[in-house]
């Protein structure tokens, strides 16, 4: 049930196994796995949870006769995730989390998109034991209802009844058309549809099932918050980090209560774990929204020289354009800014572009030349400057932030049309 899965777990992607890069390897975790009914899977991808494989290196373990093995060495226990090579190639995957520590982890992975039955873990590591107990509890309460809703979502997609009639019409019209200016125009209308509320994107029947699902998620969220408050642990610390990191997608989660639980039960009891510092940074980044002062931070050029972003804005209206060479939608949005930039660049308007790349600038420079960006682009190689975290951009390819001349954020993730309307109003035609 790929389509529904993407809604439920959207944005969940991975980074590199820092385990192999640590100089103080006090943690040794042996992983063995059995893979059932996945003939297309040739290897597993093992990475620290919630990090991006497009930016950071990751470990792979070959699947031989339906089994794999890997050893993690690290300075502290962390949350990790396993995915399969064919899932990444297809662009849709399920994250299978586990916790490292001094001990063993045995994972059985099935060819199944069901969140409860996609993996089984046997481990002598306390965090995995704790997590298994919780998973069994929510499975008993919610699995049957979630499976029922999954089948309903699948049936709606199979009979083309998931999308609203208007949106379904647009898709069918575009599919029948040859490339043309008219087709491009209709595609633009389609994009605007997808920027709107879900109620105009999906059919009434789909929204009814989705609301039932969200009600389950809200019940589960309340149980989860109580569980991590009652059982301070690495599992709880990671759950707080995970939820805050993807908070814009988890509309059913009580974000203020997660922050309260972190401040009350975790911040002082686990001050030295890297996740504690990361969570504090995520909480701070939540202030990057309309009406708040835009933060000042360091950004880096290709040659290694740096600037403070406040000195670049310096009384101008500015778009902070977070983009990446591998992100098609980001590049499309950046190209939409070019005529606006040319029109207003001499009236006090700037575009401050920052690319998120892995370990070199080759792909970035190719895109700059190919797409014709007339402004300078800074680069955050391997997240060294934490630009995406500072801007509460998660693991997305990019984000558009419009900042007024007074340094106050006008809006985030807004369209080129809205930017041009603001510039016409504030800087004149």
Q: What is the pLDDT of residues 357-393, one digit of tens each?
A: 988 999 999 999 999 999 999 999 988 999 998 998 8
Q: What is the CATH number of the domain that holds 18?
A: 2.60.40
Give the pairing type, strands 103-110 and 409-412.
Answer: unpaired
Tell me: do 233 and 255 sit in the same domain. Answer: yes
Would you state the structure tokens that stand for residue 375, as one six-digit string?
């402004």
Same domain, 223 and 280: yes
| pLDDT for 4 beyond 50 | no
Measured between its terminal Cα atoms, the distance across the chain in Å is 49
Average pLDDT of span 221-249: 94
Chain mean pLDDT for the chain: 88
Percent of the chain topping pLDDT 70: 93
Residues 146-169 have pLDDT tens digits of 999 999 999 999 999 999 999 999
Strand ranges (E), 177-316: 298-300, 306-308
Q: Give the mean model confidence (pLDDT) for residues 101-111.
A: 91
Q: Is the same domain home to 280 and 149?
A: yes
Residue 176 within any structural domain of the chain: no
- Backbone angle region of 160, left / alpha / beta, with phi > 0 → left and psi within -120 to 50 → alpha: left
CB 227 within 8 A of CB 258: no
Claim to verify: residue 145 and residue 274 sit in the same structural domain? yes
**Tens of pLDDT, residues 163-195:** 999 999 999 999 999 999 999 898 888 888 888
Q: What pLDDT, on the 0 to 100 scale, is given for residue 1?
A: 31
Q: Are residues 108 and 238 in the same domain?
A: no
> 270 and 158: one domain?
yes
10 Å CB burial of residue 1 (0-12, 13-18, 19+) is middle
For residue 347, being part of any structural domain is answered with yes
pLDDT, one tens digit per residue, over 293-332 is 999 999 999 999 999 999 999 999 999 999 999 888 899 9
Instruction: Report residue 282: phi and psi, to 5°.
Output: -65, -45
Q: State whether the Cα torsion 85-17-395-312 is positive or negative.
A: negative
Q: Quick one: 95 and 150 in the same domain? A: no
Q: What is the CATH number of the domain that holds 408?
A: 3.40.30.10
Residues 154 and 267 in one domain: yes
CA 389 – CA 386 distance, rounded (Å): 5
Which pLDDT score is estimated for 21? 38
C-alpha span between 142 and 119 (Å, rounded): 17
Query: What total of structural domains would you count in the chain?
Result: 3
Shared domain for 146 and 281, answered yes or no, is: yes
Q: What is the mean pLDDT of residues 279-297?
A: 94
**Considering the domain boundaries, does residue 215 fall inside one?**
yes
Q: What is the CA radius of gyration of the chain?
A: 23
Is residue 3 predicted with pLDDT exceeding 50?
Answer: no
Check pLDDT > 60 for residue 87. yes
State the pLDDT confidence band at 210, using cuts at 50, 70 and 90. very high
Q: Which of 97, 124, 151 is the last residue of a domain?
A: 124
Q: For residue 348, what pLDDT is reported?
A: 94
Please give the share of the chain, as a percent, with pLDDT higher than 90: 73
Residue 82 CA to residue 39 CA, distance in Å, equals: 17
State which residues form the domain around 339.
298-427
Its pTM stands at: 0.79
Say which residue, 242 or 3, is predicted with more confidence: 242
Q: Which residue has the higher pLDDT, 33 or 56?
A: 33
Task: Report whether 72 contacts 27 (CB < 8 A).
Answer: yes
* pLDDT at residue number 89: 85
The answer to whether position 247 is within a domain reads yes
Q: Is residue 230 one of the residues assigned to a domain?
A: yes
- Residue 392 falls within a domain, yes or no? yes
CA dist 429 and 118 (Å) reads 56
At which of 252, 285, 318 does a domain end? 285
Say if 185 falls within a structural domain: no
pLDDT for 19 equals 34
pLDDT at 119 over 90: no
Instruction: With respect to residue 111, please indicate whether it lies within any of the assigned structural domains.
Output: yes
What is the pLDDT at residue 110? 84
Does one domain contain both 302 and 278?
no
Residue-level pLDDT at 5: 29
Over residues 220-245, the mean pLDDT reads 95
- 99 and 237 housed in the same domain: no
Same domain, 233 and 339: no
Q: Which range (87-101, 232-246, 278-292) has the least confidence?
A: 87-101
Last residue of a domain, one of 263, 285, 307: 285
């Amino acid at each position: 049930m790929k389509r529904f899965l993407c809604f439920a777990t959207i944005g969940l992607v991975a980074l590199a196994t820092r385990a192999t890069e640590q100089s103080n390897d006090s943690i040794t975790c042996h992983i063995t796995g059995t893979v059932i009914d996945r003939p297309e899977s040739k290897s597993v991808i093992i990475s620290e949870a919630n990090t991006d494989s497009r930016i950071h290196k990751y470990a792979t373990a070959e699947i031989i006769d339906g089994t794999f093995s890997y050893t993690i060495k690290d300075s502290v226990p962390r949350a990790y995730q396993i995915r399969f090579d064919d899932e990444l190639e297809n662009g849709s995957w399920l994250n299978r989390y586990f916790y490292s520590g001094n001990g063993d982890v045995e994972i059985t992975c099935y060819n199944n998109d069901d969140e409860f039955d996609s993996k089984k873990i046997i481990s002598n590591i306390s965090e995995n034991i704790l997590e298994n107990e919780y998973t069994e509890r929510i499975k008993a309460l919610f699995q049957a209802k979630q499976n029922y809703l999954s089948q309903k979502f699948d049936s709606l997609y199979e009979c083309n009844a998931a999308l609203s009639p208007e949106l379904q019409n647009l898709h069918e019209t575009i599919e029948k058309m040859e490339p043309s200016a008219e087709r491009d125009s209709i595609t633009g209308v389609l994009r605007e549809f997808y920027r709107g509320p879900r109620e105009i994107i999906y059919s009434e029947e789909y929204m009814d099932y989705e609301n039932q699902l969200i009600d389950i998620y809200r019940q589960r969220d309340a149980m989860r918050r109580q569980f991590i408050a009652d059982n301070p642990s690495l599992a709880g610390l990671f759950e707080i980090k995970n939820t805050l990191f993807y908070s814009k997608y988890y509309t059913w989660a009580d974000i203020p209560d997660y922050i309260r639980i972190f401040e009350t039960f975790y911040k002082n009891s686990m001050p030295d774990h890297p996740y504690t510092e990361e969570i504090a940074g995520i909480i701070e980044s939540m202030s990057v929204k309309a009406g708040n002062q835009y933060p000042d931070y360091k950004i880096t050029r290709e040659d290694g020289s740096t600037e403070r972003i406040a000195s670049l804005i310096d009384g101008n209206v500015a778009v902070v354009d977070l983009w990446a060479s591998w992100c098609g939608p980001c590049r499309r949005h950046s190209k939409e800014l070019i005529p606006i930039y040319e029109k207003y660049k001499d009236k006090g308007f700037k575009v401050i572009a920052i690319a998120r790349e892995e370990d070199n600038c080759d792909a970035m420079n190719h895109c700059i030349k190919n797409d014709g960006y007339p402004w300078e682009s800074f680069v955050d190689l391997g997240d060294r400057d934490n630009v995406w975290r500072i801007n509460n951009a998660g693991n997305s390819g990019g984000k558009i932030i419009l900042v007024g001349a007074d340094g106050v954020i006008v809006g985030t993730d807004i369209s080129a049309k809205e930017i041009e309307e603001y510039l016409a109003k504030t800087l004149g035609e």
